[in-house]
Amino acid sequence: MSPFISVIITAYNRREFLKHAVRSVLNQTLDKGLYEIIVVKNFKDPEVDRLIEQSRGKVIELDAASIGLKLARGIEEAEGEVVAFLEDDDIYMPTKLVRIYDVFSNDEKLIYFHHNVAAIDKNGKPIFDKLIEHSNVNEFVRAESANEKKAIFAKYGWSLGLRNSSMAVRRDFIKRFVNVIRLFPDAVDVLLYLLALSSEGTILHSPERLTLFRLSSTSASSVRFVEDPETRFRRAVKNSIRHALARHALVVTAGLLDKWLAKYTNYDEASIIGGVFSDWGAWLVKPLTNYIIGNRPSARYLGTAIFGLTYLLNPTLAKRLIYYYYTKFSHISFSWS
């Protein structure tokens, strides 16, 4: 008998949390015969590999930092009617898969399910986080028609499209877009929501907190938890570059899917990247000073420092340079087959 749900867990160069993510899926209250686990990672982990083998799941080794590549590979291997996602540092609540099973088995038109999360720290302890609470939507939301989808988007924006670990989709719906998903290095969560908004089928959001979302210095989206200033700055810039490329791809995708979506994704991503630089105005002087007094390793950050200072002096010029650079080298060709 084929499983009803396929859970895709993704990891890249991070081992410390993966076993907890896997165990949270293995410890679900849903009948084990109703779901399978697929782990996509770029390293060996005897403990995790043994757990997956015992559960008759699948381990896929893929040396790719791109979130889109990993998820696309997992979707291709999925046998379940529904596909759920889990990042390696997050944790499912014990009843999550029962909830997914209930909502999808009772509504054949449902293609996209999203829910709230609760924040935890690096040790798994509950914490309060303003950003998480601000993005959680604390009411049930349902939309089926195009007009209903436009209405919920107008009211909630992208809040119903945040965090891969909060999402489950019907496989028949998402497999049509595998070749698009694999092109996105980041922002796949927003992409999945965009695809659901532009496709036939029902969208459902629940205020239930069915996933524990980990905030730590190793989380790709949690730069603010990195203590070392230079590391924090480098991570912020790296994330901004990756996010800019993904956002540019979103603009192209939205334009191909639906004109009403295109106008909401076609904003000035360069302003956001520029903001990252400007937030670090005081620190940007440090590499310049170190370089002048002979600290040559700081030369690695010299270009970024100069560019950051350019933004402080002439934001318009800096934004134009950013936009030109990232769009020039991120042309994307889409295949919908």
Would you say 40 and 73 are in contact if contact means Cβ atoms under 8 Å apart?
yes
What is the dihedral angle through the alpha carbons of 249, 252, 255, 260, rounded to the nearest 10 degrees? Answer: 40
Nearest CA-CA partner of 66 in 225, 181, 219 = 181
**pLDDT tens column, 201-226:** 999 999 999 999 998 656 655 555 66
Domain edges within the chain: 5-214, 226-328
Instruction: Indicate the residue type of 211.
Output: T
The answer for residues whose C-beta is within 8 angstroms of residue 189's C-beta and 6 or more apart is 161, 162, 163, 164, 166, 167
Q: Nearest Cα to 80, choosing from 31, 43, 35?
A: 35
CA distance 21 to 28: 11
Give the architecture (CATH level 2) of 5-214: Alpha-Beta Complex (3.90)
State both tokens at 160. 């119903």
Place of tokens 């997050």: 90
As a whole number of angstroms, the distance between CA 337 and CA 156 comes to 31
Residue 297 pLDDT > 60, yes or no?
Answer: no
What is the separation of C-alpha 176 from the centre of its chain, rounded to a whole number of angstroms? 19
Q: What is the pLDDT of residues 60-89, one digit of tens each?
A: 999 988 899 999 999 999 999 999 999 999
% the chain with pLDDT above 90:
53
The dihedral through the CA atoms of 219, 48, 21, 70 has a sign that is positive
Total-model pTM: 0.77
Model confidence at 233, pLDDT cuts 50, 70, 90, reads: low
